[in-house]
Amino acid sequence: MMQKNTGIQVYIDDCVKKYGTVTYNMKGMYAPQGFKSGQSLFITERDFAEARELARQKSEYLLSSADSSENGKPDSFLDLRDGGTDTEGEPGKPVMTGWLSYAGETLTHEKFLQDLKQAGDRIARDFSAFVVIGIGGSYTNIEGIINASYPSGTRIPFYFLGQHLSAERYKKIFSELSQMNKKIAVNVISKSGTTTEPALALRLVLDKLNSMNKLGAVFATTDPEKGALRESAAARGFNPEEYFTDEIKRHFYIRANIGGRFSVITPVGLLPFTVAGIDLNALLSGYHYAMDSLKNLAADVAACKYAAYKKGAVNAILSYNVACFREKILGFRQLWPECNGKDGKGLNVMEEFYTSDAHSNGQLIKSGIKNSIEIFHFIQNLGVDFTIPASDYNNDKLNVIAEGAKNPLTLHTINNRFMAALLLDHWKSGVPVIAVTLPSLNPFSIAMQMGVEHYGAALFGLMLGINPVNQPGVQGYKEIAFKLLGMKGEGLLEESLKELKNLGLDAL
Ligand code: PA5
């Protein structure tokens, strides 16, 4: 790990003083007193101690294999020791753990961060909107962090494309963009540069904006050396000099040793964030704090999940009650299954928006099959709130919490009490629960929690004996799709259309 830089440390200490830290309360992973059920997923002290020991071993291993050099050692690979996909390793491939040290290192690149901030301010001034194109790890946390940081909207509107092929959404976005006064900036993000959904989006977006005479600057965030996007970026005039100083260019790429779902702390997220107005130093500091000081916490949380998984948990339900946190939760839903769903193993991850879903899935979680643990995400201070007006019509009996009452409650407090009620109810009904609390929705705390999740997800995979940083399963549908699109030749097209026909799906 890198040497401590005093200036950065002072800044981080100030952020901790100002915002506090993220907490994970795991007491609800144990059974409530008097709870009777032979088959429950609740863990015991012994389960936890065993899982914790494994987590600590894997944590030590993860750190020992960590490689902060940009491209990894030529013969390094993730050796899983006890079996799994990459037991033989892949010599020549870097160990994908660059994210462990990236935020700390980048905080020392002061000029890069300053120049990027200036570029972000300028882009926000020059253009009417910013279109981000990407999918999976090259997308989810960007929207997640922007929405959580700016619930009422950013200084210029953001649009996200490339993460689906849904024509009606394209139409809606193109129609909105056509109404804008100034030109539109575009940021295409793809490490491989060959992912089909963003590649299609780039073609469509460039074509449409050109035909509206609204195409502004185009930025490409990709691999430093290879890939379709890197090869064509310069010839197409992407990353124009007027916005990108030499210092930005020096660092503006996705390192070989950082995989998609860990990459939002790199230029993948840094450019959109600075255009949105997010403080990059605060964001990187929060993430760095997690890598520096919360690894044991992440290991303990992973141990609790692993112990419940061993008892039969198949789902981790991510519950939250603040609407602007949804896309951030979707970032965790992207992270965990893509890290851990391999070799017939892994925890399924679901999202649950309360109190809305208390009126749907809540029924199943409480009273249906018990195969889930539930992780509740509380935001302590939302920074926006409402008092409840008193009413002459008190048939709903709410005057007791309204203005003028002895103990009036605000909307956000009521929201948190409701989610606390769901936590208690589900726990008492046999669901192991964890309560995560973020002090507020600021970049420092949001990135800190994301760091804990990144570290925990990687560790959980190692505990399962799989490689958490690859995603071999994603290739399957692509291969079939390429055949169905005719990209692999007439013969394979015919063959795969026939397969569909045999299933009665020939109308597609
Ligand atoms: O986490 C991952 O590695 C994936 O979700 C990738 O981010 C996703 O497949 C997009 O890949 P790329 O950035 O190469 O277009």
The whole-angstrom distance between residue 213's C-alpha and the CA centroid of its chain comes to 34
CATH 3.40.50.10490 location in the chain:
21-29+41-64+294-464, 99-281
Structure confidence by residue, pLDDT tens digits, 307-326: 999 999 999 999 999 999 99
Thinking of the domain 21-29+41-64+294-464, which architecture would CATH place it in?
Answer: 3-Layer(aba) Sandwich (3.40)
What's the 403 CA to ligand 1 centre distance in angstroms?
A: 50
Q: Measured in angstroms, how far is the CA atom of residue 137 from the centroid of ligand 1?
A: 5
CATH code assigned to 99-281:
3.40.50.10490
User: What pLDDT, on a 0 to 100 scale, did the predictor assign at position 449?
Assistant: 98
CA distances from 452 to 82, 184, 284 (A): 24, 35, 13
The letter for the amino acid at 474 is V
| pLDDT tens sequence across 252-264 | 999 988 989 999 9
- Cite the beta strand spans of 232-335 per DSSP E: 315-320
Atom of ligand 1 nearest to the CA of 268: 13
- pLDDT exceeds 90 at position 66: no
Atom of ligand 1 nearest to the CA of 135: 10
Contact in structure between 319 and 354 (CB atoms under 8 Å): yes
For residues 141-165, give the mean pLDDT.
97
Nearest CA among 224, 216, 285 for reference residue 251 = 224
Question: Is the per-residue pLDDT at 81 higher than 80?
Answer: no
Strand 23-25 with 433-440, pairing: antiparallel
Cβ neighbours of 26 (radius 10 Å): 20
Mutation pick for ligand 1 pocket among 141, 143, 195, 258 (CB with most ligand atoms within 8 Å) = 195
Active site amino acids: 338, 359, 478
Dihedral sign, Cα of residue 360, residue 366, residue 370, residue 374: positive
Give SS3 for 266. Answer: coil
Percent of the chain predicted with pLDDT > 70? 93
Whose alpha carbon is nearest atom 3 of ligand 1?
A: 260
pLDDT above 80 for 68: no
How crowded is residue 345: how many other Cβ atoms within 10 Å of its Cβ?
A: 14
Give the per-residue pLDDT at 75.
Answer: 38
138 lines ligand 1 (CB under 6 A): yes
Show the tokens assigned to 118: 């200036």
Cα(190)–Cα(202) distance, rounded to whole angstroms?
11
What average pLDDT does the segment 216-244 reach?
A: 92
Report the nearest atom of ligand 1 relative to the CA of 195.
Answer: 15
Nearest atom, ligand 1, residue 189 CA: 13
259 in contact with ligand 1, CB cutoff 6 A: yes
Tokens of 300: 């303990």
CA of 194 to the centre of ligand 1 (A): 10
Burial 360-369 (b: 16+ CB within 10 A, else e): ebbeebbeee
CA torsion, ordered 479, 480, 486, 487, to nearest 10 deg: -10
Q: Tell me the sheet residues that pair with 435.
A: 25, 376
Q: Is the CB of 190 under 6 A from ligand 1?
A: yes
Distance CA 338, CA 474 (A): 9
From ligand 1's centre to the CA of 459, what distance in Å? 20
pLDDT tens-place string over residues 372-411: 999 999 999 999 999 999 999 999 999 999 999 999 999 9
Mean pLDDT of 30-47: 91
d(CA 83, CA 380): 42
Q: Which stretch of 36-45, 157-166, 211-220 has the lowest confidence by average pLDDT?
A: 36-45
Asked whether residue 88 carries a pLDDT value surpassing 80, the answer given is no
Output the 3-class SS for 8-53: HHHHHHHHHHHHCCCEEECHHHCCCCCCCCCCCCCCCHHHHHHHHH
Q: Is the pLDDT of residue 214 over 50?
A: yes
Quick check: CB of 195 below 6 Å from ligand 1?
yes
Q: Is 468 in the pocket of ligand 1 (CB under 6 A)?
A: no
Among 110, 103, 46, 15, residue whose Cα is nearest residue 442 = 15
Q: What is the mean pLDDT of the chain?
A: 92
Token digits of residue 11: 């800044």
**In the prediction, which pLDDT does 424 show?**
98
Lowest mean pLDDT segment, chosen from 55-59, 231-235, 469-473, 484-488? 469-473
